[in-house]
Structure 1
Amino acid sequence: MTITLERPVGTTDPTTIVDPEVMNRLVRRVTTDHPEITDETARRIVGQAAAFIATSGQQPGHSLVPSELVDYGWHAFILHTADYAAFCQKTVGRFVHHVPTEEDEQMPGGAAAARERTVSAIQAAGYTVDAELWQSTADCNQCHAGCHDSPKSG
Structure 2
Amino acid sequence: MTALATELTHGRQLVNGELFDRLTDFCADEYGLERCVAERIMDEGLAFLDVMGRTGESLSPSKTVDPAWHTFMLHSPEYTDWCQSRYGRYIHHAPNSRYRDKAAIVDVVAKIRAAGYAVDESLWGIKANCNEPTCCGDGPCC
TM superposition score category, shorter chain reference: 0.7 to 0.9
1:85-111 CA-to-partner distances (Å, cap 9, x unmatched) read 12223433321111123xxx843xx61
**What is the CA–CA distance in structure 1 between the aligned matches of 2:108 and 2:9, rounded to whole Å?**
16
**What is the CA–CA distance in structure 2 between the aligned matches of 1:89 and 1:80, rounded to whole Å?**
14
Alignment pair present for 1:116 and 2:116: no
1:94 counterpart SS class: coil
Q: Which residue in the other structure is 1:59 paired with?
A: 55
1:69 counterpart SS class: coil
1:43-92 CA-to-partner distances (Å, cap 9, x unmatched) read 1111111011110122234x421011210111000000111112223433
Q: Which has the higher contact order (CA 8 A, sep 6+)?
A: 1
1:15-42 CA-to-partner distances (Å, cap 9, x unmatched) read 121211111111121111122x111111
Equivalent AA in structure 1 for residue 34 of structure 2: T
Out of 60, 67, 72, which is 1:72 matched to? 67
More helix by share: 2
**What is the CA–CA distance in structure 2 between the aligned matches of 1:91 and 1:72, rounded to whole Å?**
21
* TM-score calculated relative to the size of structure 1: 0.70
Structure 1: gaps spanning 5 or more residues: 1-7, 137-154
Q: Which residue in the other structure is 1:24 paired with?
A: 21
Moved over 3 A (4+): none
What is the aligned-residue RMSD (CA, Å)? 2.0
Residue correspondences, number: 121
Q: Which residue in the other structure is 2:118 paired with?
A: 128
Q: Which residue in the other structure is 2:83 paired with?
A: 88
2:102 counterpart SS class: helix
**What is the CA–CA distance in structure 1 between the aligned matches of 2:98 and 2:28, rounded to whole Å?**
30
* TM-score calculated relative to the size of structure 2: 0.75
Equivalent AA in structure 1 for residue 87 of structure 2: V
* Residues 56 and 64, structure 1, Cα contact 8 Å, conserved in 2: yes
* Residues 57 and 92, structure 1, Cα contact 8 Å, conserved in 2: yes
